[in-house]
Structures are given as C-alpha cells and as structure tokens.
Amino acid sequence: MTNVLEIIVEPNIRRRRGRAPLSEKKRAAALFRVWHSVREMIEEAERLGDGELVHFLAVSQLLVEERVTTLTSGVAAFATVDTSLPN
C-alpha cells in the first residue's frame, strides 16, 4: 500500500503594495543586519563542518560588502581594479 501526499496550492489573493524606496540611513541599517546575519550563518556552517556552505556564504558576504562599498563611496567596487588578468 502506498501513501500519496497531495499538496494543493491556492493563489494568494492579496496584492502587495509597491514599497517606497528606503532612505540611505534605513538601507545602511538593513545591509548591516544582513551582513551580521550572514556572518552568523558562516559561523554555524563552520561549526557544522560544511565547507561548501561556508564558501557560498562567504561569497554572499562579499557581495553585501560590495553593495555597501558601492552605495557609500559612489564608485563601483571593482571600477579601479584591473580585472583583465586572472589571479
């Protein structure tokens, strides 16, 4: 005898309102929280010994740092770096 699990997905009838863009101060605070959350996840992945997850989260953390750099300095993060040569 097999058990069959049936999942019924109904469309969400609520509509989301368009959000106003965040102020610079709120955007900085949100990125600060994201960065620290990713840091905590990296520590947990290290504790679990999952190297692949640590790598993925570290790349995510670098992307958040790049966004912060771009927003705060007004210059693209890698605009002044010669990226034509490989490592």
Tell me the angle at which helices 24-48 and 51-73 cross, rounded to the nearest 10 degrees: 160
Which helix (DSSP H) or strand (DSSP E) does residue 74 occupy?
none
Instruction: Name which of 85, 87, 38 is nearest 63 in CA terms.
Output: 38
Report the number of secondary-structure helices (H) and strands (E) in the chain.
2, 0
Residue pLDDT tens, the chain, 87 long: 567 667 777 776 666 666 788 887 788 888 889 999 999 999 999 999 999 999 999 999 999 988 888 777 766 656 666 767 665
pTM above 0.75, yes or no: no
